[in-house]
Structures are given as structure tokens and as C-alpha cells.
DNA sequence: GTGAAAGCGCTAACAT
DNA sequence: ATGTTAGCGCTTTCAC
């Protein structure tokens, strides 16, 4: 095994100089730096992680806690993982994926044995058991998702209230006078996520302000004939224009198919706004107006917050809510009649 | 931080005794052991992973390399991850999930920096680039999936040839005289996996032996009307009974729906055998006869092989192919007429 | 059956 | 701008 001692010998410097060249924590003359780096290259040197962690009290590994269940849509998680891994590598950190199977005990082991020195936790629910464990461990931690009681931990989440408002305001501006928000299917987690609750509240608030009727429904899985009834209600009575808010890409896709199948033109007869990633909204059979928060940006924010803590006690004072944006596409642009677009 | 020194002091023994109590690598009197364990409990001791790795030249971490792409069906990977993690923990090993995004360079870093001391690689293709990298690294490694040239690395894979034979033999026994094997959809990886290639060869071989016509098709995604044509061909001409082999659960589900929709009774009119997990086969609209290899068993085999290497040079002499089994369900049991069941 | 002591390969004061 | 040195918390010879 090639050690920093070998590098030092070949470069004709002391071992500590080699260390300082790597960490950059003290100034090195260009010539020395060059000689050391050359020696490293020549020997194919890789610093030993254990030794570094032991001496430096820092593992340079962060634990990314992903609650993988059979339900998990990997596609949605992937951009997060990629962004986080890349951002970590930029700071010379490795990422270990912690699957939830070991639960709280797993987090304890990882922390106490000094395998990781920070946690990034995805998909945190309102009363997530892990929050307490993590708070007790005292390692730098960022939660993705807002718990009711963060216990002093830093969290980052998309502003659900704003997302709901945006969706409803857009439909209203496009002429809808009665709205249905289609949420998570029955059986799926719903009340557990702060974002979802806030979304519904925000949607309701905006509907009230605009004086339009709004209702939240959860479709039964999987046959899901309920949407037909919803559609009928939305268009019945002639003259009353309906609008649909789809809380998830799945719902959006489904609604779109059903509307088209039933002979509607989603761009004209019924407004539709979906909460989903831009690329998904773009690729549906009809481009769907959508509300989204870029997940890469979201993830980067989380990592930045984490490294701020790692560098030394940045308090969770910085904005923790990510503001979503609305992108107008076909499903709300055709009927823009009664009110101004920025109503 | 509580160290083994603290434990030693409290238990009134030397630090090395504490170490030996943990490793079990030398005999300790019951009383001493009890005192030490009590002290550990009292102090809430957790051995420091870096120190242990540095002194012991073993990280007690294994890298589980999962090639996560947007296409990845997480549901299928999950039992593997769970089984592997559990089996590793039993041996006091932690698992870090290595996503493929960093590719070969990532594996190098993990190995050279001494972050992991073994690799378990999932979903290995016939000419997987990673195989060469891994062989060069020289760490204990088990590949899940059989490369054309394993470079001396241990691999574990399901016997695809046998799987194909089993499926065809069952259909023939159930009276099919012409067969269609429906493989991966166009666009999905197909020729890359040894298992799939062997499956088709095995199916062809069995068909030839039984003197029935067989053909392999790949459905186009996503509308997939092709199956209708297949169905028509299978039932046309009266009297010639058809059989379908579905290579994946998705295909099986699809075929089943289409057959039922078209007014066929899959248990009577057309034989169907799917390559998929038992629980999936069981839960389809009609229980489908299936060929499977239990993934937990498969995973456990891989882990066992890995720890055999870790303990010291077990050569890849043990059986590396996992034999699949067929479970007869509704879709082949109704028409068992012409030949004996074990034909 | 148990202890003492020498490292494992780094980092980070403290030197100069 | 660089070198010296004392650990980090464990494992593992030796010794008894």
C-alpha cells in the first residue's frame, strides 16, 4: 500500500507537507506542491480513509437516508441522489445510501461508530420517528421534508401552500368556476406529509379568495372510475366551467387519458394543472400546465445547508422553504377569457 | 466519546481484553467476558469504525453496486438489498450502496481509499465494463449476473437455459403445439444479459426436442398491439393450440389483460408461463404458472460466496448457477391432455 | 486466560 | 513556507 510517507519520501518533503497539500489548509510553495503532486501521481497514491478519519475526526462520508419501500418510485428519487452525490464529491465527501430497513438502530450505529459524519434524510413526514433519533445523535443533519416538530434540526421543503395557490390561481385565471383537487389515491400516504397538507390548504385558500367552489378527493386504486364522476360533475349544468388540480404525475396522466377518451379537449373544455416535474408535464399526451420545484435545486439547497453545518454551526436561519413555480402549457392556455392572466 | 480504554478501565481489564471479547478470537473466561460486556452496556460503548479499520486492515464495510437508472424497477431490487444487508449485518458488516453514477472511477476510489473491503455487484451484463475494473482492484468480489469473461471473479446467476426449458416443457405438456416467447420490449436491454440469451436458447432447445414450433418476439412499447397479432396467429387454423412464454412480469400482465379482453380464457384456450417472482404470479388476475428463482436465496448465495472469499481465498469452485423452479398455476393446468405432466 | 506495547496511516498542534 | 511530533482508538504480536 502506498502511504503519504512514501509520497513524502519521493517528493523530498515531510509527511505533514503532503497532508497540507491535500487539505489546502496552509500555504505551500508552488514548487513544493508540484513535486508532491507529481509524486502522488507517480506512486498512484490514494489517502487511506480510515487513517484520515481517525486522525482528523471526520469521516468524509455522509449518510443519505432513503426510505425505500416497494411503493417507492425510484425515478423521482434519482435526481436527488445524483445531485447530492455530485455535490458531496465536489467537497471530497462520499455518500453512503442508508436504506431504512434498519430503522433508528441503523442510524445510531452509523453515527456512534463514526461511519458517517452527517445525515441527509429524504422524504421526512410530519411525525417522523427518525427526527427524534437524529436530534439525539447531534450530528449535522438536514431533513428533506418538514416535520411538525423539527427538534432544532435543519429542514428543507417545497412550499406546499404556495404550490396549491399557484395551481388554483392559474385555473381561476383560465376561467374555471368549480374545482376539484385530486390527491393521493386511497391507501397511499397522504396526511403524513406536510407538503401535501399545505398544498390542500393553499388550494382552498386561493379558491376562497377567488370565490370558486373547490373540493379535494382521493381516487380509489386501481380501477379508478371515480374520475368519470368527477368529470361529469364538472361539466354538468352547462356553462359552469370546471378545473382539475392533479397532485401527482400519475393522477395527471390518468385524468388526461380519461378526459381524452371521453371526448374532451383538455386544453379547452376542462382546465388541468398538475403538480409534477417539468419534464413529465412536457411529455404527457398533451403538455400539461404544471407546478414544480426543481428537484436538483432542492437537493443542492439541502447539501449546501449540510455543509454549512459541517463547516461550523450555521443555524437554520436561512430560508428553508423552496418556492415552486408554475409553467403554463396547453391545458390552461386555451380558455383564458374572464380574468387577466395574473388574476 | 467512549473508547475501549474506558471500557477496560471500568471492567478492570486491559484494552486488549476488551478487543478480544469483541472479536472472539481468543478464549476469555466467562466472568471476564461478563464484566466487559456489562461495562460496554453501562457506558453505551460503540467501537470506532475508523480505528478498527486502520488497526485491523478491514473496514467491515462492503460495497453493494447497484446500477440505478431511470428504468430500474426498484421493486425487483429491493429483496436483494434487504437480504444482502441483513446477511452482512449478521457478520458485523455494514453495506454501502454504490450507485453507478461515478462508474469505474467510483469503484476505484472506494477500494483504494479503503472504504470498502469487498464488492457485490448487481445486474452484471455479458460485457460489463466494471468487471475489468473490479478484477484489477483485487478485492473480494461477487458478480450477480454472468459476464462472458468473468476474469476470474466469482459470479452467481440464475440458470437461464434451464428456465427456458422449464417454461416450454410445461406448455408442451399442457398441450401447446406452437409457441411464442415474448421477450423484452424493443428498446429495453436484451442481448446484454447472459440470463436472457440462455433463456431463449433453452426455450428453443426444449421446443425442438418436443418438435413444436417456437418463435421469439419483442413487443414494441408502449401501445403494444403486437400481442393481438400473436394471439391471432396462435389460435388461427383451428385445432392448433398455442402457448405463450412471458419473459417478464410486465409482459405477463399485459398478455393476460389482452387475452381476457379478447374473450379468451387463459386457463383453457392458450397456455401461459411467465418468468417472474412467485408472489407476482400469484397476484395477477389469473394465477399464472411461473418459473422463478427465489431472489432472497439468490442474494444469500452471493453474500455467502463473498464472505467465503473474505475469510480467505475460497476459489469459485462452488456451483455458481442457481436452478430455477416452475410452479404450476391456473394458466397451464386446465388443458393437460395429450402428454403426461412430466413429459 | 490476560497484559503491555508497538503500530495502522493519517492530522494538527507546536515548532522554526 | 516547512518540519517534528504526539496522538486518533483500535488490533495484534509478544510475553507471562
Q: Quick check: A115 and B51 CB within 8 A?
A: no
**What's B279's domain CATH number?**
3.40.50.2300
In the predicted model, is pLDDT for residue B237 greater than 60?
A: no
**Burial call B245-254: b when 16+ CB within 10 Å, e when fewer:** bbbbbbbbbb
Q: Which domain holds residue A268?
A: 160-294+327-333
| d(CA B188, nearest CA chain A) in Å | 16
B115 occurs within a structural domain: no
Please indicate whether residue A334 or residue A262 has the higher confidence score (pLDDT). Answer: A262
Residue A241 inside a domain? The answer is: yes
The grid cell for A184 is 393521493
What pLDDT digit, counting tens, does each position of A72-87 carry? Answer: 666 678 888 889 999 9
CA of A5 to C1' of D4 (A): 14
Mean of the per-residue pLDDT values for chain B? 87
Residues of B in contact with A82 (CB under 8 A): 99, 101
Nearest to A84 by CA among A104, A66, A111, A59: A66
Distance CA A216, CA B238 (A): 53
Residue B178 lies in a domain: yes
Closest approach of B175 to chain A, Cα-based (Å): 34
Sign of CA dihedral A204, A206, A207, A209: positive
Task: Give domain status of residue A240, yes or no.
Answer: yes
CB-CB under 8 Å, A99 with B99: no
Q: Which residue is nearest to nucleotide D9 (CA to C1')?
A: B51
Rounded Cα gap, residues A168 and A161, in angstroms: 11
Q: Which helix (H) or strand (E) holds A272?
A: strand A270-275
Q: Where are the alpha helices (DSSP H) in chain B?
A: 4-11, 15-23, 30-43, 49-56, 74-90, 103-112, 129-137, 160-173, 194-210, 226-235, 249-261, 278-283, 295-312, 330-333
Is A199 contained in some domain? yes
**Residue appearing with cell numbers 436465496:** B297
Q: Which of A37, A271, A300 is nearest to A169 (CA)?
A: A271
* Residue A71 reports pLDDT greater than 90: no
Please give the tally of structural domains in chain B: 2
Q: Is A235 exposed, middle or buried (0-12, 13-18, 19+ CB in 10 A)?
A: middle
Lowest-confidence pick of A8-12, A230-234, A238-242, B151-155:
A230-234
Measured between beta carbons, which residues in chain B are less than 8 angstroms from residue A116?
none
Find the DSSP H helices in chain A. Answer: 4-11, 15-23, 30-43, 49-56, 74-90, 103-112, 129-137, 160-173, 194-210, 226-235, 249-261, 278-283, 295-312, 330-333
* B6 band by pLDDT with thresholds 50, 70 and 90: very high
A327 membership: H or E segment, kind and range? strand A325-327
Poorest-pLDDT segment among A328-337, B96-105, B182-191, B220-229: B220-229
Q: Of the candidates B44, B49, B81, which has its C-beta nearest A99's C-beta?
A: B81
pLDDT at B107 over 50: yes
Distance CA A90, CA B230 (A): 52
A24 domain residue, yes or no: yes
Residue numbers in B 40-79, CB below 7 Å of strand C? 51, 54-55
8 A C-beta contact, residue A332 and residue A174: yes
Does the residue B23 lie in any domain?
yes
pLDDT mean over A277-282 = 91
Contact B97 A101 (CB under 8 A): no
Rounded CA gap, B138 and B284, in Å? 44
Does residue B267 belong to any structural domain of this protein? yes
The cell for A233 is: 360533475
Cross-chain CB nearest to B49 (options A70, A102, A114): A114
Question: pLDDT tens-digit profile of A99-149?
Answer: 766 678 889 999 999 999 999 999 999 999 999 999 999 999 999 999 999
Nearest CA of chain A to the CA of B248: how many Å? Answer: 18
Q: Among A6, A95, A96, pick the best mutation site for testing chain B contact (most B Cβ within 10 A).
A: A96
Closest CA to B92 of A109, A62, A66: A109
Q: Strand order of the sheet with strand B178-182?
A: B213-217, B178-182, B242-246, B270-275, B289-292, B325-327
Among B64, B66, B96, most A C-beta atoms within 10 A, so best to mutate, is: B96
Query: How high is the pLDDT of residue A343?
Result: 36
Is the separation of the CB atoms in B153 and B135 below 8 Å? yes
Residue of B260 and A248 predicted with greater confidence? A248
Amino acid at each position: 500500500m502506498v502511504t503519504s510517507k512514501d509520497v513524502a519520501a519521493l517528493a523530498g518533503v515531510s509527511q505533514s507537507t503532503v497532508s497540507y497539500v491535500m487539505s489546502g489548509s496552509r500555504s505551500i510553495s508552488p514548487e513544493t506542491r508540484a513535486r508532491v503532486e507529481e509524486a502522488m501521481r507517480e506512486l498512484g497514491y490514494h489517502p487511506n480513509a480510515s487513517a484520515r478519519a481517525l486522525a482528523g475526526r471526520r469521516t468524509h462520508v455522509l449518510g443519505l437516508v432513503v426510505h425505500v419501500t416497494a411503493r417507492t418510485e425510484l425515478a423521482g428519487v434519482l435526481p436527488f441522489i445524483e445531485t447530492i452525490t455530485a455535490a458531496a464529491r465536489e467537497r471530497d465527501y462520499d455518500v453512503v445510501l442508508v436504506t431504512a430497513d434498519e430503522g433508528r438502530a441503523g442510524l445510531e450505529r452509523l453515527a456512534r461508530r463514526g461511519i458517517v459524519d452527517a445525515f441527509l434524510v429524504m422524504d421526512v413526514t410530519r411525525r417522523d420517528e427518525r427526527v427524534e433519533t437524529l436530534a439525539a445523535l447531534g450530528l449535522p443533519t438536514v431533513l428533506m421534508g418538514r416535520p411538525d416538530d423539527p427538534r432544532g434540526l435543519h429542514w428543507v421543503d417545497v412550499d406546499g401552500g404556495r404550490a396549491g395557490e399557484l395551481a388554483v390561481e392559474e385555473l381561476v385565471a383560465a376561467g374555471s368556476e368549480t374545482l376539484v383537487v385530486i390527491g393521493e389515491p386511497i391507501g397511499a400516504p397522504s396526511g403524513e406529509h406536510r407538503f401535501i397538507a399545505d398544498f390542500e390548504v393553499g388550494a382552498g385558500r386561493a379558491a376562497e379568495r377567488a370565490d370558486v367552489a373547490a373540493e379535494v378527493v382521493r381516487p380509489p386504486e386501481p380501477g379508478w372510475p371515480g374520475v368519470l364522476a368527477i368529470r361529469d360533475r364538472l361539466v354538468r349544468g352547462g356553462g359552469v366551467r370546471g378545473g382539475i388540480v392533479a397532485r401527482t404525475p400519475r393522477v395527471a396522466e390518468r385524468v388526461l387519458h380519461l378526459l381524452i377518451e371521453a371526448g374532451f379537449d383538455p386544453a379547452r373544455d376542462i382546465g388541468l394543472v398538475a403538480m409534477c416535474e417539468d419534464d413529465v408535464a412536457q411529455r404527457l399526451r398533451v403538455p400539461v400546465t404544471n407546478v414544480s420545484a426543481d428537484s436538483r435545486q432542492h437537493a443542492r439547497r439541502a447539501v449546501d445547508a449540510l455543509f454549512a453545518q459541517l463547516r461550523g454551526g450555521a443555524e437554520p436561519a436561512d430560508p428553508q422553504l423552496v418556492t415552486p413555480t408554475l409553467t403554463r402549457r396547453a391545458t390552461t392556455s386555451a380558455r383564458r377569457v374572464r380574468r387577466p392572466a395574473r388574476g
